[in-house]
């Protein structure tokens, strides 16, 4: 019985160590424009600055008449 308890305790600490490691990497990766916008409660749309936004203009497929 003692070996079973020790095995369960060891597996519990292993899972906790894995969870703590993933939290640390999530904090490092959390500085992206998407996460900053989500933390502020805003939407985030990736739109490169070099492409002008053209409202109402679809792609070539949808422009065919």
| Burial letters 41-64, b for 16+ CB under 10 A, else e | eeeeeeeeeeeeeeeeeeeeeeee
Cα–Cα distance measured from residue 29 to residue 41, given in angstroms and rounded to the nearest whole number: 18
Report pLDDT digits (tens) over 10-52: 999 999 988 887 665 555 666 788 888 888 888 887 766 776 7
Write the CA distances from 29 to 32, 33, 57, integer angstroms.
Answer: 7, 11, 35
The C-alpha atoms of residue 12 and residue 46 are separated, in whole angstroms, by 40
pLDDT of 63 strictly over 80: no
Query: How far is residue 31 CA from its own chain's centroid?
Result: 10
């Amino acid at each position: 019985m003692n070996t079973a308890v020790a095995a369960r305790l060891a597996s519990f600490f292993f899972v906790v160590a894995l969870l703590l490691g993933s939290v640390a990497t999530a904090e490092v990766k959390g500085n992206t424009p998407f996460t900053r916008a989500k933390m502020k409660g805003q939407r985030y749309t990736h739109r490169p600055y070099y492409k002008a936004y053209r409202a109402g203009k679809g792609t070539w497929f949808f422009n065919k008449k």
